């Protein structure tokens, strides 16, 4: 009797497929899910591009208006943080540094700029970049 119990237990532990019928399609599905290569990740929604690289894709610019003279020196370089849409249009421009009196004028101008769309694997993506707008000294 003890020998039969041991044999039965071993057959249950070693060969569970013998005791219960499994659906062959579920067995195939589990095999393929373990061996199938991982799907390619979708391209990113937005990428960061250096200013000089993105500048090469610039197709339309609008020069900023010079701020009214207030007796203070109003020249220098304004740096903006810019988000370019998938279509190449500037979606947002935010002042980062430079002469504050020129910042508003730089933002107004850059919001009208257009770039060639940036593609990743043939798919257009948004671009996060910096833009420098130079305001020369008055009269130059």
- CATH number for 90: 3.30.2420.10
For residues 38-55, one letter each, b for 16 or more C-beta atoms within 10 angstroms of the residue's C-beta and e for the rest, the string is eeeeeeeeeeebeeeebe
User: What is the C-alpha separation between 32 and 26, in angstroms, rounded?
Assistant: 10
pLDDT at 40: 67
The Cα-based distances of 116 to 60, 85, 112 in angstroms read 9, 10, 14
Average pLDDT over residues 36-54: 76
Share of the chain above pLDDT 90, in %: 51
pLDDT at 74: 79
pTM of the shown model: 0.67
pLDDT at 43: 58
The Cα-based distances of 125 to 43, 89, 117, 130 in angstroms read 8, 12, 8, 16
Task: Look over the chain and give the mean of its residue pLDDT values, rounded to a whole number.
Answer: 79
Q: Are residues 52 and 121 in the same domain?
A: yes
- Kindly tell me if the per-residue pLDDT of 62 is higher than 70: yes
Q: How far apart are the first and last CA of the chain?
A: 108
Domain that holds residue 77: 46-135
Q: Are residues 59 and 96 in the same domain?
A: yes
């Amino acid at each position: 009797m003890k020998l039969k119990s041991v044999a039965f237990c071993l057959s249950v532990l070693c060969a569970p497929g013998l005791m219960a019928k499994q659906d062959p399609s579920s067995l195939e599905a589990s095999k393929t899910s373990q061996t199938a290569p991982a799907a390619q990740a979708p391209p990113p929604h937005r990428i960061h591009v250096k200013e000089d690289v993105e500048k090469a894709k610039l197709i339309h610019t609008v020069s900023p208006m010079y701020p009214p003279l207030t007796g203070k020196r109003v020249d220098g370089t304004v740096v903006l943080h810019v988000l370019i849409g998938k279509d190449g249009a500037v979606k947002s421009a935010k002042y980062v540094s430079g002469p504050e009196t020129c910042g508003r004028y730089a933002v107004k101008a850059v919001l009208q700029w257009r770039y060639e769309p940036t593609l990743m694997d043939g798919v257009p993506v948004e671009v996060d970049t910096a833009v420098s707008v130079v305001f020369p000294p008055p009269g130059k």
